[in-house]
Structure 1
Amino acid sequence: MPTASVVPSSGKAVPPRAHPALTVRRAGSGTARRSAMGGDETGVIRKGDEFQRGLSAHPRGRDAHEPRPRSGGAPGKSAHESSAMTMNFRIDQTGASGLSIDRPRALECRFRNSAGSRAYYLFVPSGPGDGPRPLVVMLHGSSQSARDFAIGTNMDRLAEEHGFLVAYPDQPRSANITKSWNWFRDADQQRERGEPSILAGLTREIMGRFVVDPARVYIAGFSSGGAAAAVMAMTYPDLYAAVGIHSGLACGSAGSMLLALPTMYRGALLPPQQATHPVPTIVFHGDRDTTVAPINGDQAVAQARPDSDLIVSTVEGRSSGGTAYTRTFLTEPAGTWTSEQWILHGAGHAWAGGHPAGSHTDPAGPDASREMLRFFMANPRR
């Protein structure tokens, strides 16, 4: 039977330790590579059938249109948050036939607290469901809008298919002229301050008004949105069960606008602070990305790893559109934490497998939206 490396926090490979919950098998050959995670990565690891599991088994909520009675609110509710959610049911047309946000019951909402306010779309699936729904918060990149990001990622279609809520916060130009999330500002990298408090607040607001499974609340983003998602995973590990980072950066990679561009092009000068409470993390990054250098993806994965031994293994593959990729699994032997890193060979700064009607998408790549959702559903809060 082929084996995988066990990589301790020191980054040096040691023989794998036996554990009855782990099944090791080869899913393809791969070229060993060295990254910021440490260790040569070979073979592949499966935790039971977790990485093979489809989405059909996850719970669907009962009618999410029905607000949940307030009985103490969502976990961690800040006393400074004000309820300012406008819930107007409507059909929100995209201007392009058959694309995202063409489903009924897309809500236009706004959340306010002492740090500011943000508008956002909330997609609500049409089916009644049969239990609390998962929630995914999606953060667009620079120059994008919430609507554009929904079109490009096709996440609404997956939400309709599998019965989960999707929130798309929109960064206004008044907050950043390029519509970038301010991931590089110190004040926007801290819990209960700045943009993190707003994003956490609107997440809690949705949890308080809809029947949401608190163990299945997730956040993902692209580019500056990916960096902001990394910030949220670091600052609110009690709120988000897992995070998806596409072409983004680790939390704390830069502390000012002056350092933002050099960090994007070359990575953080110093290794970003390791997460105190790491959450499962899935990272996608093109190895020909000239906007956000691929080393930033390595640093995001390294930041999220726990300070313990890890089994690290890889498999190579190719999408139906022809994009080759290297997929790396990182798993604690006890199975309590896992992450994935997808390196997209020849890909630039674009959402893999996205719809061409959205900006910054690469339709030839593997379906990042579906893979993120699979990863999320396999990693509820434990």
Structure 2
Amino acid sequence: MAGLSDTLARLAQAQRAATMGAASMGYADQTAADSGRLQALEDFGANPGALRALSFVPEAAAGTRMPLVVVLHGCTQTAAGYDRGSGWSELAEEQGFAVLYPEQQRGNNGNLCFNWFAAEDIRRGGGEAQSIRSMITTMVRDCPIDPDRIYVTGLSAGGAMASVMLATYPELFAAGAIIAGLPYGTATSMSQALDRMRGRGLPDSAALAALVDGASPATMRIPRISVWHGDGDGTVVAANADAAVAQWRGVHGVAQAPDEVEQTADHLHRRWRDAQGQVVVEEYRIRGLGHGTPLATTGADGLGEAGPHMLEAGISATRHNAAFFGIAGQPAARPTDARPAPATASARAGSPVRSPLASRSGGSQIGDMIDGALRAAGLLR
């Protein structure tokens, strides 16, 4: 078997080919996108992960402290590109909270992925996790941020890095949202990362919870978790959503069966409550959605802009997650044929469901092209 350094070199070559192929297909790298709202955060202290930071802070009323949402972009994306697509800073201005965007650099990862699978970057006190923690500390120090209302969310590799932050620094976060991401601690090498993305070798529920329990000192605070995934995702398969839910169910000590299930034509929504009745884990499984962040860009609550891995789905993960965090109201209800229903075995397993929304797969062509590049590099069979 090839050594890790050789593997990484081959992957970097494959990533460059994938990015060039995406551009030739009309799926340009999102580094050129600019939301026009974000400002660079300079001198934020220890930065062993060599990340960049950008932020948006609306004007605050005198004497008030605002919530902070940490947002982690996906591969091939930048902070500004993801902000433009997701609409987080637009919502922040509307609702009066701050946004922090850690940003990956090409010197760390040729495809701008956060290194959620690298042991040195996913431990408390080191690498990219420490860099993000430094950014948060600086925001709390220099801006009117309420330290009890800090949240984190991310897409894909950013979703996996959100899992890292929630596990390694749970005392920082009141809640988090993992979108098309992976559970914490399941991969510590590139080959493992590729296997986990395809649902191979995921630990059982007890082992998943133990990974989080061992990632930080004992804490009285356990973040509430929202997990989002499309059942048409061929890049990070939906088994990872099942594993993320199982991981945090175990940490919170709630039952396997959800307390509430809502089934609509567009999605499955499940909630788990603790002994006090608070929703501590929830899951949205979006019918027919490929690899990306679900958006609702039209209507009264329209937000964000569709693009590569930013997928129109009739439901805004940004607005719903802000509501789950408790920093914005619930989005206006859209017409639906919602039918409350018990969770079926297939829904619990996350098996694909064919629907008229299957055309929303969006990034499937990119996923196929990347898979081809990885196979050509000998990293995928």
Does the alignment reach a TM-score above 0.5?
Answer: yes
2:35 is equivalent to residue 101 of structure 1 = yes
Contact 2:226-2:321 at 8 Å conserved across structures: yes
* Mapped partners of 1:374, 1:267: distance in 2: 33
- Is 2:103 the partner of 1:170? yes
Residue deviations 1:206-225, cap 9 Å, x none? 01111111110011000000
Counterpart residue number, 2:312:
363
State the secondary structure of the residue aligned to 2:241: helix
Write out aligned runs for 1:269-284 (5 A): 269-271=202-204, 273-274=208-209, 275-276=212-213, 278-284=222-228
Find out whether 1:133 has 2:58 as its counterpart.
Answer: no
Alignment partner, residue 184 of structure 1: 117
Aligned-pair distance for 1:156? Answer: 1.0
Specify the code of the residue in structure 2 equivalent to 1:176.
Answer: N
Shift of 1:348: 0.4
Q: Answer with 134-143 or 110-119: which moved more.
A: 110-119
Q: Deviations over 1:46-96 (max 9, x none)?
A: xxxxxxxxxxxxxxxxxxxxxxxxxxxxxxxxxxxxxxxxxxxxxxxx998
What displacement does 1:267 show?
A: 4.5
Residue in 2 that maps onto 1:326: 268
Q: 2:292 aligns with which of 341, 346, 350?
A: 350
Question: What is the deviation of 1:357?
Answer: 4.8
TM-score, normalised with respect to structure 1: 0.68
Q: How far does residue 118 in structure 1 lie from its aligned partner after superposition? A: 2.1
1:181-240 per-residue CA deviation (whole Å, 9 max, x = no partner) reads 111112222101111111111011101111111110011000000000001000001111
CA distance, structure 1, for counterparts of residue 200 and residue 59 of structure 2: 42
Residues of 2 paired with 1:254 and 1:116: CA distance? Answer: 18
Aligned mates of 2:195, 2:312 — CA distance in 1: 29
Rate the CA distance shift 1:114–1:128 in 2: closer, same or farther, 3 A.
closer
Is the contact made by 2:50 and 2:105 (CA closer than 8 Å) also made in structure 1? Answer: no
Measured in 2, the distance between the counterparts of 1:289 and 1:263 equals 14
CA distance in 2 between counterparts of 1:127 and 1:175 reads 35
Pick from 295, 307, 325: which aligns with 1:376? 325
The residue correspondences of 1:262-273 to structure 2 (distance < 5 A) are 262-271=195-204, 273=208
Does residue 145 (structure 1) correspond to residue 51 (structure 2)? The answer is no
Query: Equivalent residue for 1:24?
Result: none
C-alpha distance in 1, partners of 2:201/2:84?
31
1:289 maps to what in 2? Answer: 233
CA contact (8 A) 2:74 2:154 kept: yes
CA distance in 2 between partners of 1:127 and 1:102 (Å): 20
SS in 2 for 1:228: helix
Separation in structure 2 between the aligned mates of residue 287 and residue 248 of structure 1, nearest angstrom: 13
Scaled by the length of structure 2, the TM-score of the pair is 0.68
Classify the secondary structure of the residue corresponding to 1:273: helix
Matched to 1:139, the amino acid is L
Contact 1:268 1:296 in 2 (8 A): no
* Shift, 1:241, TM fit: 1.0
**Does structure 1 conserve the Cα–Cα contact (< 8 Å) formed by 2:55 and 2:98?**
yes
Cα 1:285–1:269 change in 2 (3 A) is same
Going from structure 1 to structure 2, the CA distance change for 1:165 and 1:309 (only over 3 Å counts) comes to closer
Distance 1:139 1:339 in 2: 20
Q: Structure 1 stretches (4+) deviating beyond 6 angstroms?
A: none
Please tell me the residue identity of whatever aligns with 2:165.
M
Asked if 1:241 corresponds to 2:188, the answer is no
CA shift, 1:317, in A, is 2.5
**Residues 315 and 351 of structure 1: is their aligned pair in 2 closer, same or farther, counting only changes over 3 Å?**
same
CA gap of 1:315–1:116, structure 2 versus 1, over 3 A, is closer
Q: What are the residue-to-residue correspondences of 1:1-382 with 2, within 5 Å?
A: 101-103=35-37, 106-110=38-42, 111-113=44-46, 115-126=48-59, 128=61, 131-271=64-204, 273-274=208-209, 275-276=212-213, 278-305=222-249, 306=251, 308-310=253-255, 312-318=259-265, 324-335=266-277, 338-353=280-295, 355-377=304-326
Greater alpha carbon shift after TM alignment, 277-286 vs 154-163: 277-286
Counterpart CA distance in 2 for 1:160 and 1:259 is 40
Q: Secondary structure at the match of 2:270?
A: strand
**Which of the pair is proportionally richer in strand?**
1
Distance 1:124-1:294 versus aligned 2 partners, 3 A rule = same
Instruction: Please state whether the residue corresponding to 2:259 is helix, strand or coil.
Output: strand
User: What letter corresponds to residue 71 of structure 2 in structure 1?
Assistant: M
Higher relative contact order (CA 8 A, sep 6+): 1
Equivalent residues of 1:253, 1:267 under 8 A apart: no
Which blocks of at least 5 consecutive residues in structure 1 are unaligned? 1-93, 319-323
Structure 2: distance between partners of 1:95 and 1:257: 28
Contact 1:152 1:359 in 2 (8 A): no
- Return closer, same or farther for 1:291/1:133 CA change in 2, 3 Å cut-off: same
**How big is the alpha-carbon RMSD for the aligned residues of Structure 1 and Structure 2?**
2.3
* Unmatched tracts of structure 2, length 5 or more: 1-30, 214-218, 297-303, 329-381
1:117 is paired with a residue whose SS is coil
Q: Distance in 2 between matches of 1:288 and 1:172?
A: 29
User: Which one has a larger percent helix, Structure 1 or Structure 2?
Assistant: 2
C-alpha distance after superposition, 1:243-292 (max 9, x if no partner): 11000000012111121111101244323531336420001100010000
> Secondary structure of the equivalent of 1:359?
coil
Given that residues 174 and 223 in structure 2 are in contact (C-alpha distance below 8 angstroms), is that contact kept between their aligned partners in structure 1? yes
